[in-house]
Amino acid sequence: MIEDIVAAVIGVALLAYLLLALIWPEWF
């Protein structure tokens, strides 16, 4: 159960990071 929550949080964080990198590449 905990592992699923952690995996979901990490997945969402990675997706958000990639989305931000695509929208504002100058930040990265």
The SS3 call for residue 12 is helix
Q: Rounded CA gap, 15 and 7, in Å?
A: 12
Confidence of residue 25 (pLDDT cuts 50, 70, 90): confident
pLDDT of 27 over the 90 cut: no
Report the residue count for the chain. Answer: 28
pTM score above 0.75:
no
Taking 70 as the threshold, does the pLDDT of residue 28 lie above it? no
| Average pLDDT, integer, range 3-24 | 96
